[in-house]
Structure 1
């Protein structure tokens, strides 16, 4: 439990720092350089996510393969598997660099906007530096630490890199430095995390032998894992790109502002689940199915409590936040339709995380890849078709339909083929979240004044809604899952607090 607490704590710190920095920077970029530059930066980040796909699957496959040798303290096999992963990461890094250069010259010819072609080319090259470092150095170490239940080390190092990068970025923007210099400094300073990760691994894993022959079975599932990475990015990283091509960079900026909030919430939820996933993976590797079922239900129920709180409060607070957050920008960012559609697809994308991680730790990549491809295909086709009729709404509707279908598919598959239990509990837990949200909406609009003009007022309103949300969550869970609620509460008191 100490490692679980460390992983969750470090992940939470990392995500909070990441969210805070991501909240602060977009308004500064919009105010200093305009909405088109903000939309461009967001789009390039998503382009980099796509290009990173050349290495997709290596980390996931390596994580899955390392669970057992690390648990058995088989140092020779661990070294061989890590060397195999390192070889694949280096090849992927070379391909990533080539693709990033090619993209930098081609993509600027497609976007709608008034930005200079040369500026876009340089920005893409500059923002690819961070991605290259992931392949050549960071990737193998992250896989090792994750599989060894020490993801907190990676999280802390990443947090340091984010803070250092943010400080210099913030100063340069206030000085109205050239946007190329701003992003170059951010990329280079974030890369310093390489030094810390390398030092830690060399000191604490001295048994690793770079001369051990690579055991390629460690990455034999990388192609199937790659499909899952590809489809996930195709869905979420295609939105800003589609908007920049079919609507314009200002629409991409509108998307980016709301995405700051919801990607932050997703990151928190994902990090919480991924912090626990290595322990589920080890239990699965040791073939202890009864224990695995108990652990998964505890994780799913606890996660559902967190989700109920986050999405009920977020539903109420999103528009007041955007109103204060953007201020008097060069375009209108207040849009209830965009907020509602973001809430919908983000809910489906986040509620499925415990089941999705179980598929990963169980190594069921091949068995589920067809459904993942169908999900991505539905999303992209609907986005491209509907954007021509409904603009940004069409992109979000297409995403919500695809993710909603796949959400149910993932949960049903995990319960049937990995956990070996009925779907009833998972579906009931899913329904509890909109129930809690609806009750909070009624309470809020019946008794609370939602008009705020400052972040101080917004924070006080968030505290009030948080109180009502927690009380509602407790009441709903006592009514629906009384036994599991008190069992989880007692477990947390005993093991964590």
Structure 2
């Protein structure tokens, strides 16, 4: 049942994301050619500012979500009601705090943009994006009950319906009106409508959450939530500083054009990142149930199976990005929108190491191990900002992301797996390092082969791009099959993905046969 729910959640997430991504490319193209790259830089910069303001959330959602897994599994309705009531009050307060903080920040917008362009109504645009952020906290807490109850597909279906509708309306409005104001208003209204819809669906599926809690949250649960909120506060601060500071540093030191150039690459890479997030969000509730009911051997087996799948996907994506990003951007927007090769290489290296953390992160979060590495985020944030600013002076845009890599590899890379291996898997940390180095070795070998093959392909043009696509699609996956087809992890991965492979026809049957 766990696998079935996980795969259903993944299917809805990947399907919705695929359609949304196609429309996002259309939307981005229309945006650039109707409004311009400066406005693209504004959206990237303001989004990161609001991510910083969302520090007000302080990990309340994650802490309460963790507390929901057990009562949902045990059908403890009074406790679910109490937790959902607390969630509602918390998010209303958070929305208010973000609104006030956003208004206070508004007068200082021009000071964080180097050579601020003469864009009319800049503060109006800021306020419109602020309203969209504030609205995103209204009713959204109810989507959590679907996610924790292994029914994330219902939330995903709702989210992508409104996201796709928003993207279509925004593209049409740009073509007909060319108005950035209307573009932002559509985003706010779509966010509000999506939250209202999921709230209605949650009330219908779990009618008892509309009722006032008959009992209060017990002292033990309160202490757990408070402890996790304190720990998550530190993680939240670090996460937002690390992931939101890049655009702010680029804007402050290099200007909005640098933000705009990077945002195109971020859009492409984030598409796959969101795919990965969909997969790991979809399996989180199932892993949480395993954590409650499974033994150590089962946890280890599931962990290594998911980690192997994680590695395969991340390796394939990272290689493809390295060889295809610049050729794709050239065909899409033209050479003037390209980043240099060093920056692309750094982005791909960061992407690989960052997304290899998904499996460890999923097991850490479902085990509620927020407190154990509460000091890690402080060091990560400081290292990220200092190293990014220093390296920017020497390497430009690439230096900003080199700094992010430095902060990742000196903190999260080893701290998180150390905790998971100790408290969940009951294994020595050296086994993680051996696994990671082994995967690094295989990645390097496969990268070398793909690099040599791509060196024979001429640059520029549609046909060479298509040839590169085939090389990146076929060679890494074929080499992975050759290297791992006899391993236990491959066989377990095939078994885990069996329902999906069954729908792939002859190809799926061949892969399943290899895993037998």
TM-score calculated relative to the size of structure 1: 0.92
Asked if residue 92 in structure 1 is aligned to residue 94 in structure 2, the reply is yes
Show the counterpart of 1:284.
291
- Matched with 2:26 is 24
Cα 1:48–1:264 shift into 2, 3 Å: same
Give deviations 1:96-144, integer Å, cap 9, x for gaps.
1111222222222331234347522111111123322222211x11221
Q: Does 1:407 align with 2:413?
A: yes
> Aligned partners of 2:248 and 2:273: how far apart in 1?
20
1:451 aligns to what?
459
Runs of 5+ consecutive residues of structure 1 not aligned to the other structure: none
Q: Call closer, same or farther: CA 1:457–1:123 in 2, change over 3 Å.
A: farther
Q: Which runs of 4+ in 1 moved over 4 A?
A: none
Q: Secondary structure at the match of 1:67?
A: helix
Structure 2 residue aligned with 1:103: 105
Aligned-partner Cα distance in 2 for 1:287–1:102: 49
Work out the CA distance in 1 between the residues paired with 2:499 and 2:272. Answer: 27
Shift of residue 210, structure 1, vs aligned partner = 3.2
1:206 maps to: 207
The answer for the alignment partner of 2:514 in structure 1 is none
Equivalent of 2:254 in 244, 247, 255: 247
Q: CA deviation at 1:2?
A: 2.0
Alignment of 1:339-418 (within 5 A): 339-405=344-410, 406-418=412-424
How much has 1:389 moved relative to structure 2? 3.7
Question: What SS does the aligned partner of 2:375 have?
Answer: helix
- For 2:9 and 2:166, the matched residues in 1 are separated by 23
**Distance between the aligned counterparts of 2:211 and 2:377, measured in 1?**
35
Structure 1 residue aligned with 2:160: 159
Judge which range, 484-493 or 224-233, deviates more.
484-493
Alpha-carbon distance between aligned partners in 2 of 1:25 and 1:107, rounded to the nearest angstrom: 26
From 15, 26, 43, the equivalent of 2:17 is: 15
Calculate the aligned-residue CA RMSD, in Å: 2.3
Superposed CA offset, 1:352-392 (max 9, x none):
11101222111111111111221111001112233234321
Q: Does 1:130 align with 2:129?
A: no
| Equivalence map 1:214-363=2 (5 Å) | 215=217, 217=222, 219-220=225-226, 221-286=228-293, 288-327=295-334, 331-363=336-368
**Structure 1 residue 496: deviation in Å?**
6.4
How many residues align? The count is 491
The CA deviation at 1:227 is: 1.5
Matched, 1:483 2:488: yes
Structure 2: segments with no counterpart, 5+ residues:
503-516
TM-score by length of 2: 0.89
* Matched residue, 1:40: 42
Cα distance in 2, alignment partners of residues 388 and 314 from structure 1: 26
Q: Which residue in 1 is equivalent to 2:195? A: 194
1:367-419 per-residue CA deviation (whole Å, 9 max, x = no partner) reads 11111221111001112233234321221110111112222332232112221
Cα distance in 2 for partners of 1:430, 1:277 equals: 22
Which whole-Å CA distance do the structure 1 matches of 2:313 and 2:112 have between them?
Answer: 41
